[in-house]
Amino acid sequence: MSRINKLQVYYHEREVGTLALYKNRLAAFEYGSSWLADGFPISPFSLPLEKKVFISKQDPLEGLFGVFSDSLPDGWGRILVDRMMRKNGLNPNESGNLDRLADRRGARNHNKW
């Protein structure tokens, strides 16, 4: 399975910005210009509404921003997803956070979150 390195982030069918993998372990996020014009900060403390590239910290959220980390399954949910992946012949250790955030059915063509 090829790893996803970049996702377009949407809110109610409207593009918010781009989430990308930085240095193979950290998240980088940048708001899109139309969202900057009349959107809102999706995470006021870590992602204020500014034109810049935000780089996450490794800890405590495994290189993600909280708003995206909260979208991933918790510990028990991750165990269940990993079991399902193994049952379907996939190695969960080869899936990064962006892979887990992406809807793999649609993300292959669109890489939307």
> Which residue type is seen at 20?
A
Tens-place pLDDT, residues 66-113: 999 998 888 898 899 889 889 988 888 888 888 888 854 443 444 444
Q: How far apart are CA 4 and CA 1, in angstroms?
A: 9
Tens-place pLDDT, residues 20-63: 999 888 999 999 999 999 999 999 999 999 999 999 988 888 88
Contacts of 45 (CB under 8 A, 6+ apart): none
* Structure-token pair, residue 48: 């204020």
